[in-house]
């Protein structure tokens, strides 16, 4: 469920009409619903009720400061994957003991930053990383709490670019080598082993891969405890999918996922961490764009929008689907027309979808891309010197710009001319 619905024939975000926002900020823009963000967080929190747990929002899905502040106010933890994300999390109000640091390539500088600023744990992914983290911690006179990310060699049955739990993926250490890796961690003076980390991929639409992975984690927990390690926390990652196509069968619900966690791991008396990102933010946002032209081609018609692949790269990168609908509700029974829906960037890849049936629209009409709250604005660029588009947050009848569109002067003036080129033009 989200809070983007037609009212009196006009698409609204909560209680705000989308054309009202478009008039105020221009198009294209992202708009997020506070109510949807909060609801999705609470669904996960409630799904794990009865277990000692912490829901850590995976902020790589949407790292706007206003979104992070909302999540922090709800009691969420946060999962970060860079020093920049760590600083964003701290600036938004997350205390160190609610920040988990993941990622395969943490630098010494990032490790030092998190240790000095406060950290719940590092999810380490290799022996070399362990050695470096221990050295950094010892140099600071500190001990770094860690979980080790194990790769369970489970096929998440998702897109190859967002699968992370198979043996050929770059993430984690092979589960078959976990005992020797944990033995190394226990010997390193700057580390405190506290648990196990596993994350098998993103946009999962079945619970079966989770069950396979979590049963392996349960067995590993018992094995490592028998070896003398303290395993008190299980970080289970995230990845539960969202319904990008409203007509398709919906992925499992958080309550079903929570029941699986309890069934497979609840007997271990461990604190459970989960790191949802897409399911919290994805359906909490839409991308709104204006039709520039309706163009007739050879055997096909094009909707040319003012949004482009630099604003929403998922279709170009993953072949991802987003439902696209007119902001003004079409009359019941309106005949659909097939369009190729494209942006103005000078790349053939700047195509959102081909042969998509939609109610006919004209130049100047507004359209909305659903399920665009995750991996939309955070992956945007200024390719073709197109400004990053505004982000807007709605709360009931109020809305605020939470990231403004930069001016062309601001973009151009970020570049500098070296002395030897001054006056050469």
Rounded Cα distance between 327 and 351, Å, is: 20
Q: How far is CA 296 from CA 184, 196, 293, 301, 308, in A?
A: 65, 56, 10, 4, 19
Rounded Cα distance between 233 and 111, Å, is: 21
Catalytic residue among 346, 357, 421, 425: 346
pTM over 0.85: yes
Report pLDDT digits (tens) over 298-352. 888 999 999 999 999 999 998 999 999 999 999 988 999 999 999 999 999 999 9
Q: Interior CA angle at 239 toward 236 and 244, to 5°?
A: 160
Beta strands at 53-58 and 29-33: parallel, antiparallel or unpaired: unpaired
DSSP letter (8 states) at residue 328: B
Domains 4-31+282-412 and 103-274 share a fold: no
The verdict on whether 346 is a catalytic residue reads: yes
User: In the structure, what pLDDT confidence band is assigned to residue 171 with cuts at 50, 70 and 90?
Assistant: low
Element (H, E) at 70: helix 65-73
Quick one: what percent of the chain has pLDDT higher than 70? Answer: 95
CATH number (2.30.30.60, 3.40.640.10, 3.30.70.3280, 3.20.20.10) of 103-274 reads: 3.20.20.10
Q: Where do the structural domains in the chain lie, given as residue ranges?
A: 4-31+282-412, 103-274
Q: What are phi and psi of 76, to 5 degrees?
A: -70, 150
User: In the structure, what pLDDT confidence band is assigned to residue 99 with cuts at 50, 70 and 90?
Assistant: very high
User: Is 232 in contact with 272 (CB distance < 8 Å)?
Assistant: no
Report pLDDT digits (tens) over 107-147. 999 999 999 999 999 999 999 999 999 999 999 999 999 99
Residue written as token pair 């588009």: 389
Q: For the chain, what is the total number of helices (H) and then of strands (E)?
A: 12, 21
Rounded Cα distance between 92 and 85, Å, is: 10
User: In the structure, what pLDDT confidence band is assigned to residue 157 with cuts at 50, 70 and 90?
Assistant: low
User: pLDDT at residue 295 above 90?
Assistant: yes
Q: How far is CA 67 from CA 81, 236, 331, in A?
A: 17, 23, 35
CATH number (2.60.120.380, 2.40.37.10, 3.40.50.2000, 1.20.1440.230) of 4-31+282-412 reads: 2.40.37.10
Rounded Cα distance between 17 and 31, Å, is: 11
Q: Helix or strand or coil: residue 112?
A: helix
Report pLDDT digits (tens) over 377-386. 999 999 999 9
β-pair partners for 324 = 369
Rounded Cα distance between 22 and 11, Å, is: 12
């Amino acid at each position: 469920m989200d809070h983007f619905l037609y009212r009196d024939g006009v698409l609204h975000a909560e209680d705000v009409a989308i054309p009202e926002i478009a008039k105020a900020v221009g198009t294209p823009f992202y708009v997020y619903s506070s109510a949807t963000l909060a609801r999705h967080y609470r669904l996960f929190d409630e799904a794990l009720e009865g277990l000692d747990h912490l829901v850590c929002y995976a902020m790589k899905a949407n790292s706007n400061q206003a979104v992070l502040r909302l999540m922090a106010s709800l009691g969420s933890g946060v999962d970060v994957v860079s020093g920049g994300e760590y600083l964003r999390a701290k600036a938004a109000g997350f205390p160190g003991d609610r920040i988990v640091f993941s990622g395969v390539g943490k630098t010494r500088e990032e490790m030092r930053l998190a240790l000095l600023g406060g950290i719940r744990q590092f999810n380490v992914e290799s022996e070399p990383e362990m050695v470096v983290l221990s050295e950094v911690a010892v140099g600071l006179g500190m001990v770094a709490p860690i979980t080790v990310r194990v790769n369970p060699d489970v096929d998440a049955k998702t897109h190859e670019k967002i699968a992370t739990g198979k043996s050929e993926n770059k993430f984690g250490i092979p589960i078959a080598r976990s005992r020797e890796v944990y033995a190394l961690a226990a010997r390193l003076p700057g580390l405190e082993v506290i648990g196990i980390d596993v994350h098998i991929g993103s946009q999962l639409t079945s619970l079966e891969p989770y069950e396979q992975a979590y049963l392996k984690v349960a067995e590993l927990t018992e094995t490592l405890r028998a070896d003398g390690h303290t395993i008190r926390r299980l970080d289970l990652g995230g990845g539960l999918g969202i319904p990008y196509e409203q007509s398709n069968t919906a992925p499992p619900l958080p309550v079903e996922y929570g029941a699986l966690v309890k069934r497979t791991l609840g007997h271990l008396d461990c604190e459970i961490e989960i790191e949802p990102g897409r399911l919290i933010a994805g359906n909490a946002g839409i991308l709104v764009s204006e039709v520039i032209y309706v163009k007739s081609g050879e055997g096909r018609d094009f909707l040319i929008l003012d949004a482009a692949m630099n604003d929403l790269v998922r279709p170009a990168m993953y072949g991802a689907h987003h439902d696209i609908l007119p902001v003004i509700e079409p009359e019941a029974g309106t005949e659909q027309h097939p369009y190729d829906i494209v942006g103005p960037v000078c790349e053939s890849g700047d195509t959102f979808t081909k042969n998509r049936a939609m109610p006919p629209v004209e130049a100047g009409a507004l359209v909305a891309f659903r399920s665009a709250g995750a991996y939309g604005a955070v992956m945007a660029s200024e390719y073709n010197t197109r400004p990053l588009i505004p982000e807007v947050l709605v709360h009931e009848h109020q809305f605020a710009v939470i990231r403004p569109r930069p001016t062309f002067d601001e973009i151009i003036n970020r570049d500098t001319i070296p002395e030897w080129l001054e006056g050469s033009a």
